[in-house]
Amino acid sequence: LYFIEKSFIFLMQSHTRNGETAAGSSAVENLIFGPGGAATLAGALEICIFHPFDTMSKRLMSHQSRIVGSSLNETLSTVNRIFFGASVDASVWTKLHLLYPGSQYAVYYKVSQRFVKFAGQPYAKDYLEANRRYLPFGEGKRGQMLMEATAGCLVGVSEVVLLPFDRMKVLSQTNRDALAGRGLLSVLRQEGIRKLYAGTVITATRNAPGSFLLFGGTALTKEYVFGLQDYRKATFAQNVAASSVGAMMGVFVTSPIDVLKTRVQNKHFGAKITAWSAFKDVLKHEGPTAFFKGITPKVIATSPRLVFAYTLSQYFTAALR
Q: How confident is the model at residue 5 (pLDDT cuts 50, 70, 90)?
A: very low
Residue 318 has pLDDT above 50, yes or no: yes
d(CA 150, CA 100): 34
The per-residue b/e assignment along 196-211, b for 16 or more CB within 10 angstroms, e otherwise, is: bbbbeebbbbbbbbbb
Q: Which residues contact 197 (CB under 8 A, 6 or more apart)?
A: 160, 163, 164, 167
Q: How confident is the model at residue 8 (pLDDT cuts 50, 70, 90)?
A: very low
- Helices of type H across 266-302: 275-285, 295-297
Instruction: Give the CA radius of gyration of the chain.
Output: 21
Residue 89 has pLDDT above 50, yes or no: yes
Coil, helix or strand for 248? helix
d(CA 292, CA 219): 26
Mean per-residue pLDDT for 17-41? 60
Q: Which strand (E) or helix (H) includes residue 108?
A: helix 103-114
Q: How confident is the model at residue 279 (pLDDT cuts 50, 70, 90)?
A: very high
**Among 2-6, 52-56, 76-80, 168-172, where is mean pLDDT lowest?**
2-6
Residue 307 has pLDDT above 80, yes or no: no
Residue 212 has pLDDT above 90, yes or no: yes
pLDDT tens digits, 146-179: 888 999 899 999 989 999 998 998 888 888 888 8
**Torsion (CA) 240, 245, 49, 297 in degrees, nearest 10:** 160
pLDDT of amino acid 27: 62
Q: Which residues pair with 20 in a beta bridge?
A: 17
pLDDT of amino acid 281: 92
Q: How confident is the model at residue 18 (pLDDT cuts 50, 70, 90)?
A: very low
Between helix 303-320 and helix 236-265 the angle, nearest 10°, is 130
- Between the CA of residue 30 and those of 92, 115, 117, what are the distances in Å? 44, 14, 17
Q: Which residues contact 175 (CB under 8 A, 6 or more apart)?
A: 62, 266, 267, 268
Mean per-residue pLDDT for 4-32? 51
**Portion of the chain with pLDDT greater than 70, in percent:** 87
Q: What is the DSSP letter of 229?
A: S
**Among 82-86, 132-136, 198-202, where is mean pLDDT lowest?**
132-136
**Among 7-16, 165-174, 225-234, 250-259, where is mean pLDDT lowest?**
7-16
Q: Are 312 and 45 spatial neighbours (Cβ–Cβ below 8 Å)?
A: yes
d(CA 256, CA 254): 6
